[in-house]
């Protein structure tokens, strides 16, 4: 373990230029990390996510199928996709990453120039802040080993000027939104404060699970922000602009805004906040049966997960076993619990994560969840239904 409590295996996944190839070879094995045992069968949940309605189908691509979660790494061809403005076509001959705005030295870089810079890897579980917020969206999550070059040294080279306040990341995909009575056409964009953008874990990412970043996930380059919700991880990146004010683009100021009712001195007030950092969460993935014995497995993420507990029906919370060795504060941890005395009939299964500081994933009745009127940041406890034959 190092100072941050990470195991050697996690360090291999988190970085190490010389070991890059070796780390990815290990990832091949991690794809097989939690297969079914001989004779173990998956029992499908009784509750099924609804079919994605037509308008949302342009945005939500494929989703994680929880019953199929049998590996720590999500393969690229099974990784969920979200695109708000469609997938842009990018001409690689003319593509450049521009670093502009409040910098001493604007930069313009080709993909080869970016790839020639220091290479860094990070494993990160990317979750859409809308996942579990809509009846047809429960699989907006996946875990991958990403690689690219760190952002901070590039910003230092460009030299953020004294008045620089935020760093805005622009995608190549352009969309139109109606604001009041007029239409605005802008690229997909999100920002971070200059201080947050200097996080050494943030990558200009061009590789996913050892392959070139696939077009649907932002090729040639996306920004990868471990610890933040999916929306911050701008795909099809082509411009980074340092500005001297707060950025208020559509996906910061109007969409991906959480609105909840809170009580102040006994009075209800509405609070509106921006979707930003990931939140503590867990989900039961599947129930399996082997020789009449039942097992519940799942995942927990969104912080330094220390503990996972499972509740069957209205019973007492029971501790699950977290898979040792694999996972960091940026990734999900897989867990399992044998389900002793599973009786015939219908049952509910609920899980909750507890982080290193003792924070517990909120119940759906917790005011933070119950009094939330928007569907973003739905990290309340998830209950699934299963039939034991």
Which of 130, 157, 150, 153 is CA-nearest to residue 141?
130
- Least Å distance, CB 190 to Mo ion, is 11
Q: Within 331-370, which residues bind ligand MTE (CB under 6 A)?
A: none
Sort strands 237-243 and 97-101 into parallel, antiparallel or unpaired. Answer: parallel
Annotate each residue in 126-145 with x if it binds ligand MTE (CB under 6 A) or - if it does not, as one string. x-x-----------------
User: Which does residue 171 touch among ligand MTE, Mo ion, none (CB within 5 to 8 A, set by kind)?
Assistant: ligand MTE
- Residue 276 and residue 151: Cα distance in Å, rounded? 18
- Least Å distance, CB 130 to Mo ion, is 5
Decide: is 282 part of the binding site for ligand MTE (CB under 6 A). Answer: no
User: Which does residue 234 touch among Mo ion, ligand MTE, none (CB within 5 to 8 A, set by kind)?
Assistant: ligand MTE
Specify the stretch interacting with Mo ion by CB under 5 A; choose among 81-89, 188-196, 274-282, 343-351.
81-89
Decide: is 238 part of the binding site for ligand MTE (CB under 6 A). Answer: no
Decide: is 230 part of the binding site for Mo ion (CB under 5 A). Answer: yes
Closest to ligand MTE by CB, 28 or 58: 58
107-109, strands of its sheet edge to edge? 107-109, 97-101, 237-243, 166-179, 182-193
Annotate each residue in 157-176 with x if it binds ligand MTE (CB under 6 A) or - if it does not, as one string. --------------x-x---
H or E stretch covering 9? helix 8-14
- When binding is defined by CB under 5 A, the residue of 128, 205, 275, 334 that contacts Mo ion is 128
Closest to Mo ion by CB, 188 or 339: 188
User: Which does residue 188 touch among Mo ion, ligand MTE, none (CB within 5 to 8 A, set by kind)?
Assistant: ligand MTE
Contact partners, residue 99, CB within 8 Å, separation at least 6: 106, 107, 108, 109, 154, 155, 158, 240, 241, 242
Cβ neighbour number for residue 3 with a 10 Å cutoff: 5
Decide: is 218 part of the binding site for Mo ion (CB under 5 A). Answer: no
The Cα-based distances of 296 to 47, 288, 289, 332 in angstroms read 16, 7, 9, 16
The Cα-based distances of 353 to 103, 169, 298, 303, 356 in angstroms read 42, 32, 11, 10, 10
- Least Å distance, CB 80 to ligand MTE, is 5
Specify the stretch interacting with ligand MTE by CB under 6 A; choose among 36-44, 231-239, 260-268, 301-309.
231-239
Total site size for Mo ion, rule CB under 5 A: 4
Share in percent of the chain as helix, strand, coil (round to 5): 15, 40, 45
Annotate each residue in 110-129 with x if it binds ligand MTE (CB under 6 A) or - if it does not, as one string. ----------------x-x-
- Residue 373 and residue 369: Cα distance in Å, rounded? 9
Coil vs helix vs strand at 45? coil
The number of CA neighbours under 13 Å toward the Cβ of 92 is 7
- When binding is defined by CB under 6 A, the residue of 14, 147, 197, 231 that contacts ligand MTE is 231
Decide: is 82 part of the binding site for ligand MTE (CB under 6 A). Answer: yes
Sort strands 293-301 and 305-312 into parallel, antiparallel or unpaired. Answer: unpaired
Specify the stretch interacting with Mo ion by CB under 5 A; choose among 121-129, 156-164, 173-181, 325-333.
121-129
**Residues at the contact surface with Mo ion, assessed by CB under 5 A:** 82, 128, 230-231
**Residues at the contact surface with ligand MTE, assessed by CB under 6 A:** 79-85, 126, 128, 171, 173, 188, 217, 230-231, 233-236
């Amino acid at each position: 373990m190092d100072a941050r409590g990470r195991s050697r295996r996690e360090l291999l996944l988190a970085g190490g230029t010389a070991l890059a190839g070796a780390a990815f070879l290990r990832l091949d094995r991690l794809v097989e990390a939690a297969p079914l045992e001989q004779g173990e069968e998956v029992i499908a949940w009784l509750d099924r996510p609804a079919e994605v309605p037509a308008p949302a189908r342009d945005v939500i691509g494929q989703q994680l199928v929880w019953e199929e979660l049998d590996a720590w790494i999500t393969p690229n061809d099974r990784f969920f996709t979200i695109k708000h403005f469609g997938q842009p076509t990018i001409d690689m001959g003319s593509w450049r990453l521009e670093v502009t705005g409040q910098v001493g030295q604007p930069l313009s870089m080709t993909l080869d120039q970016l790839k020639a810079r220091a290479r860094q890897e990070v494993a990160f579980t990317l979750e859409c802040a809308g996942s579990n917020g809509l009846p047809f969206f429960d699989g907006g999550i996946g875990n991958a080993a990403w690689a690219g070059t760190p952002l901070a040294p590039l910003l230092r080279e460009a030299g953020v000027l004294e008045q620089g306040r935020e760093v805005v990341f622009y995608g190549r995909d352009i969309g139109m939104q109606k604001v009041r009575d007029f239409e605005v056409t802008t690229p997909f964009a999100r920002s971070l404060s200059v201080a947050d953008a200097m996080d050494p874990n943030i990558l200009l990412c061009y590789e996913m699970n050892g392959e070139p970043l696939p077009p649907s996930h932002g090729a040639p380059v996306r920004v990868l922000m471990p610890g933040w919700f999916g929306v911050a991880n701008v795909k099809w990146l082509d411009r980074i602009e340092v500005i001297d004010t707060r950025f208020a683009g559509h996906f910061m100021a109007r969409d991906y805004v959480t609105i909840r009712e809170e009580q102040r001195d006994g009075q209800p007030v509405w609070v509106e906040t921006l979707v930003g950092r990931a939140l503590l969460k867990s989900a039961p993935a599947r129930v399996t049966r082997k020789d009449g014995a039942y097992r519940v497995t799942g995942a927990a993420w969104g912080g330094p997960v220390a503990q996972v507990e499972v509740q069957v029906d209205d019973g007492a919370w029971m501790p699950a076993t977290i898979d040792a060795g694999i996972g960091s504060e940026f990734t999900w941890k897989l867990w399992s619990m044998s389900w002793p005395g599973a009786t015939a009939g219908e049952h509910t299964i609920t899980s909750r994560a507890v982080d290193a500081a003792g924070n517990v994933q909120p119940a759906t009745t917790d005011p933070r969840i119950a009094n939330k009127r928007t569907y973003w940041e739905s990290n309340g406890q998830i209950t699934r239904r299963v039939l034991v034959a």
